[in-house]
A and B are shown apart, each in its own frame.
Chain A
Amino acid sequence: MILKSWWKILAVILLTITFIGGFLIKVPRVGNLYETIRNLFFHVPMWFGMMALLAVSLIYSIIYLSKPSAKNDIYSVEYAKTGTLFGVLGLITGAIWARYTWGEFWSNDPKQLLAAVALLIYAAYFILRNSIPDIDKRAKISAVYNVFACAMLIPTLWIIPRMVESLHPGGQGVEGNPGLNSKDRDPAMGMIFLPAVIGWTLLGIWITTLKIRLALIKEKKLANE
């Protein structure tokens, strides 16, 4: 049993490190960030976690398309749900932080807008799913849509943010990736950031597996009736 759930324990340990270390370490002073630079351990992992969960969702959608089964469909949709939850949390925490660093909750920054677009594409995925009563049709259409939805993450989160000017780190003319500015970080922050990303992602996977197991039980009950 302990061998099977080692990653859950790892998630708890890594998140504990994040929550304690995230406050304890000394952080560099950058611009008007002050202590809000510690958001790196809480806000940024939401996006990393979202990408990981949505990537898993994509993989199960592709598996579904080559080998249709209710199980693959459930895996795909539950990972997409948790991924979207992480994205929404990332957007909200980003807006709260932006209020005190950029001056506005929502300043129509390209990165904010495109992240919102990416999430709305996933919102459409759930609406599309729920609008199809036929189970097999629903699974197939949503698997196809999911492939496109995940593909849209690449321009909305990775390509366009690099091409335009932005308040957020990593816009046009700035080195680094759209998520974070490597020059602003020091090794101590990296020591907490990596556990944070892995810990949050594992927690997301844990929650997803619970939802999957519940959905599978429901599915079984439905089949037995």
Chain B
Amino acid sequence: MSKLKKILLPFFSILFTIPSMAQTVAADSGDNHGFMQSNDKIYVVMVIVTTILAGLIFYVARLDKKISKLEKESN
């Protein structure tokens, strides 16, 4: 468990910057010139692909942990 946490910690700390980014945008989204709206909303795609990456990495890390458990059991 601690191994998984150590793997995911730096990653989640980076992930936490994304919602905070989105909040600053929400505050000034009235004028439609926020960061997320800039450049034809391409940064929305950036957040989405980063989320997908996060999900996949999470999945692979969990798989890693499960296989480690299997290895321990078979030894």
Which residues of A are at the interface with B, using a C-beta cutoff of 8 A?
1-2, 5, 8-9, 12-13, 15-16, 19-20, 22-24, 35, 203, 206-207, 210, 213-214, 217, 220-221
Contacts and interface: CB of A to CB of B under 8 A. Distances in A.
Q: Is the interface of A mostly helix, strand, loop or mixed?
A: helix
Interface in B31-70: 42-43, 45-46, 49-50, 53, 57, 60-61, 63-64, 67, 70
A27 to B, nearest CB: 11
Given A23-B42, A210-B63, A221 B3 contact: no
A198 to B, nearest CB: 15
A12 B11 contact: yes
A8 B7 CA distance: 7
Interface size grouping (class) on chain B: 20 to 34
A12 B67 contact: no
A16 B11 CA distance: 8
Given A2-B6, A23-B45, A24-B46, A220 B57 contact: no
A217 B7 CA distance: 23
B60 A210 contact: yes
B30 interface: no
B46 A1 contact: no
A213 B71 contact: yes
A1 B11 contact: no
A217 B67 contact: yes
Contacts of B67: 210, 213-214, 217
B23 interface: no
A215 B19 CA distance: 39
Contacts of A217: 67, 70-71, 74
Contacts of A15: 53, 57
B63 A19 contact: no
Given A19-B46, A19-B49, A12 B7 contact: yes
Contacts of B27: none
A13 B10 contact: yes
A206 B60 contact: yes
A145 B12 CA distance: 43
23 contacts: A2-B6, A5-B6, A5-B7, A8-B61, A9-B7, A9-B10, A12-B7, A12-B10, A15-B57, A16-B14, A19-B49, A19-B53, A23-B42, A23-B43, A23-B45, A23-B46, A23-B49, A210-B60, A210-B63, A210-B64, A217-B70, A220-B74, A221-B74
B20 interface: no
A110 B28 CA distance: 50
